[in-house]
Amino acid sequence: MKNLLKIESKEDIVSRVNVLRVKLNEAYEKQGNTKEVIKISQELDRYIYIAQQLKLMEKIKKENKS
């Protein structure tokens, strides 16, 4: 996962997801379904997965406090 940036906060993840979505859309429109588009899509998937995991961890912590 060499392409992953250092993640400081949820805002970093949201920002990176948004940047990757724009980049992916632009690349797909220009290039179609190329290796580069697939690479961007996979990186986007990783960030979405990270965001989902963080959200799940927050939910579990909140439930444990109750």
32: left (phi over 0), alpha (psi -120 to 50) or beta: left
Q: Is residue 66's pLDDT more than 80? A: no
Model pTM greater than 0.75?
Answer: no
- Output the pLDDT for position 33: 85
CA angle (33 as vertex; 31, 37 as ends), nearest 5 = 75
The domain tally of the chain equals: 1
State the CATH number of the domain containing residue 27: 4.10.280
Residue 4: inside a domain, yes or no? Answer: no
Residue 37: inside a domain, yes or no? Answer: yes
Residue 5: inside a domain, yes or no? Answer: no
User: Per-residue pLDDT averaged across 50-58, rounded?
Assistant: 91
Residue 3: inside a domain, yes or no? Answer: no
Residue 42: inside a domain, yes or no? Answer: yes
- Output the pLDDT for position 4: 53
Tens-place pLDDT, residues 18-50: 999 999 999 999 988 899 999 999 999 999 999
CA nearest neighbour of 49 among 2, 1, 27: 1
2 class by beta-carbon count within 10 Å (0-12 exposed, 13-18 middle, 19+ buried)? exposed
